[in-house]
Structures are given as C-alpha cells and as structure tokens.
Amino acid sequence: MRWSSVVDTDRSLHVAVERAAESIFLGLGRKEPDLLIAFVSAEHAPRFEALPELVRREFESTLLFGCCASGVIGGGREIEDRAALSLTGALLPGVKLKGAHFDASQIPPIYAEQRVWEDTLRLTPSQQPAFLVLADPFSFETETFLRGLDRAYPLAPKVGGLASGARQPGGAALFVGEQVYRSGCAVLALTGNIELDTIVAQGCRPIGDPMFVTGSHDNLIRELDGQSPRNVLTELFERLPPNDRELFTHSLFIGLAVRSDASQYVPGDFLIRSILGMDPQSGALWINERVPCNSVVQFHLRDAVTSALDLDRMLTTYRASHPVPSNSGALLFSCAGRGFGLYGQVDHDSNAFRRLVSDIPIGGFFCAGEIGPVQSNTYLHGYTSAFAVFREKR
C-alpha cells in the first residue's frame, strides 16, 4: 500500500489535473494509482463534466471517486475560497474497489430485508467492507441512508461528507469512474487488505450537568428533569462565567447521549445537535434531531479554542491505541464552518493530524455536512471534522 496527495491552485482545470497527476505519479514511485480521490472547488464548476476525461488522459485504469467542494484539502494544505483541485492517489494491492452511484429512488427502505440491501450494494457483510459516502445535499436523504447502511452492515466503518460549493439543486457534482452525477449519492466500498479507522471531532465542550428528557414529542423537548427548558437555560446562564455567557448567546448546542444508561459521561458520549428555537409560550426547545423521552442530554458550547482542544483530544486518543504505518493515507472531511473562518489560521486541522497522529498523505474537502460515527452508529454532522485513516490489515 502507498498513498500520495497534492493540491493544485491553477485556475485552469486542465493544467491543474495535469500537474497534480504528475505529482501523484511521482509520489507513488512512478506507478498509476488504483484509486484516485478528487475534490474540485466550485470555481471549476464550468469544467466539472470534463474531469473524468482529463483524469483518463493521465491514468488509463484508475478508479476516480470524488465530488465538488467549497474548499479542498490536499498534501496537508487546506485551500478555501479560490480555485483548487485536490487529488489523493493510492496503490492498493489486495484491495477490491467498488464505486457506485444511487439516486434516492434506488435506496431500499431502512427496514428492508438484509438481502435487499445486499442486492442493491452488491456486497455482503462477510466481505467486511469499509465505506466512503459522498452525497448531494439537495436531492438525497443522507441520514436515512446511513441508518439503513448501519442496519445492513453494522460492523462496517462509514465516513464521508456532503458535496459543497453548489447553491441550488443540480449544481453539485459527484464523480464515480467516468461518470459525473448531479444528484443522489456516491458510495465507494473497499474490501480485502485494508482497514479504515475513523476519528470524529465534534468540537464542543459540555456545560451544566447531564439531564433526563422527561417530556418530548419528536424533535421538541418539553421538559428536562421535570422543568421547562427555558427555566433550565436561565438558571444555567446565571451560573456561567462571563466568557461562556457570550458564547451562550450564539454558540449553544445540545448533546444527546448515545447511551442513556451510563453512570457518567465524557464528551465523546454525546451526539451534538443544533437548537432550532424556543416556543415562546411553553419554553420548550426544538432541536434538529428526534429526542426520545427518558434520554439523556447535556448543553454544549463551541468556539475556536474548544474545537482545537477537542480535536487534539480525539487525535491523541486515537494515536495512543492505533499504530499508523508510514505507507498509510488519510482523508479529512471538515465542515465548511471550520478552517480559517473559525481558527484564524490556515491548515489547522491538517497540521493537528500530522503533529499528533502521523505525517502521512492527507486529502479531503470542506463539506456541507460530515459523515462519521459516534459510538457504534453513523450520523450526519455539522461543524465537525471526520478523519478516515487507511492502513493495511495487521
């Protein structure tokens, strides 16, 4: 196994592909990659349809997989708000690659029989697949798909993101082989001599105490520990230090405990979700996730310092238990709300990975939503960085 990653900022997509492909070719010891993962900035939108042919001119038998993006990551560099192309290539001996595209109508119901899912993806759980998932944010119910994928392939790691940079339906682009798709979902299944590890940093810290949801309906929280959420938040605000009070006004989130039967909770135990609003009469909270009664929640805050500390913690925890050989590769699926706009510095998350995990090739893009697991289930996130680390099986 061998990986190489590069970014090129030439405003001509033809030139960018030509130069980036040459760099990949040299980085792989003058060999054509088995897999080429491409992320293309929105500035190249007029030429999206040309990308497969441009890649084919450079590599005859490589499988192309990727999407458009508001910003791209390649060679450990994070390029935002200007023309850029990211290419990440890999030599994958002993690995089988299966790229596919699905429209929403082709996806089975969540609770369809196992064989229906296997027939759709042409994979069985016994093949031990790992999945990369890229989806169009306008036309595809990604969260529903992930729930079904988890049910059909519960042990398979799944990571990816929503294509970004498009402002209207039909504006996004998904690349699978020689085809360009303007809707739906692109799935890459990897089987054989490969392990896919995931690292998900949601970038929040808890405030207050975990509380039971004692009254709810769908995504409306009516009571927390028997109190109105408005009263709970008022009391919580009064106990906060001045800096946290400022964050409270614009960066307040809620965490849903993935397990409600734990005796204590740490940050990685919560799925972070946005607060959509408060009912002015009852003081109930709407959030962007269904909340069952008797589940456990805790309020969270997010800022640049918190996001950086959470990322460092997740990367350090991963490195302590996972050796990362030098022939490994990585992808970073980062929220478009992170990057320079959050940290005030470039390449923040890529640099953290190289510093705390390993200086291996890393590509990726800034997403309109990030896909990755919390505990044993896969979710669509916001404001998150989700890493995929590829290495040979031990």
pLDDT digits (tens, 9 = 90+) for 329-338: 999 999 999 9
Q: Are 301 and 207 in contact (CB under 8 A)?
A: yes
Q: Are residues 220 and 129 in the same domain?
A: no
Distance CA 43, CA 55 (A): 18
Q: Which domain does 245 fall in, by range?
A: 205-301
Hunting for tokens 């508001």 — which residue is that? 70
CA angle, 347 as apex, 346 and 351 as ends, to 5°?
A: 135
What's the pTM value of the predicted model, to 2 decimals? Answer: 0.93
Q: Are 108 and 117 in contact (CB under 8 A)?
A: yes
Q: Are residues 231 and 188 in the same domain?
A: no
Q: Are residues 69 and 145 in the same domain?
A: yes
Q: Are residues 115 and 228 in the same domain?
A: no
Total number of domains in the chain: 2
Q: Are residues 49 and 122 in the same domain?
A: yes
- Packed helices 348-356 and 304-321: angle between N→C axes, nearest 10 degrees: 30
- Packed helices 13-27 and 51-58: angle between N→C axes, nearest 10 degrees: 40
- DSSP-derived letter for residue 86 is E
CA angle, 14 as apex, 11 and 19 as ends, to 5°?
A: 90
Q: What is the mean pLDDT of the segment spanning 264-273?
A: 83
Hunting for tokens 């009664």 — which residue is that? 293
The H or E element that residue 231 is part of is helix 229-239
Structure confidence by residue, pLDDT tens digits, 250-267: 999 999 998 767 778 876
% of the chain residues with pLDDT over 90: 94
Burial of 242 (0-12, 13-18, 19+ CB in 10 A): exposed
The residue from 256, 284, 301 where one domain ends is 301
Q: What is the mean pLDDT of the segment spanning 278-290?
A: 93
Structure confidence by residue, pLDDT tens digits, 293-342: 999 999 999 999 999 999 999 999 999 999 999 999 999 999 999 999 99
The residue from 261, 278, 301 where one domain ends is 301
The residue from 258, 283, 301 where one domain ends is 301
Q: Are residues 31 and 125 in the same domain?
A: yes
Nearest to 266 by CA among 213, 205, 197: 205
Q: Are residues 186 and 257 in the same domain?
A: no
Q: Are residues 66 and 173 in the same domain?
A: yes
Give 76's pLDDT tier (boundaries 50, 70, 90).
confident
Q: Are residues 295 and 376 in the same domain?
A: no
Q: How many CB atoms lie within 10 A of CB 53?
A: 11
Q: What is the mean pLDDT of the segment spanning 171-188?
A: 98
Q: What is the mean pLDDT of the segment spanning 41-50?
A: 97
Q: Are 240 and 246 in contact (CB under 8 A)?
A: no
Q: Are residues 256 and 318 in the same domain?
A: no
Q: Are residues 166 and 214 in the same domain?
A: no
Q: Are residues 214 and 180 in the same domain?
A: no
Give 376's pLDDT tier (boundaries 50, 70, 90).
confident
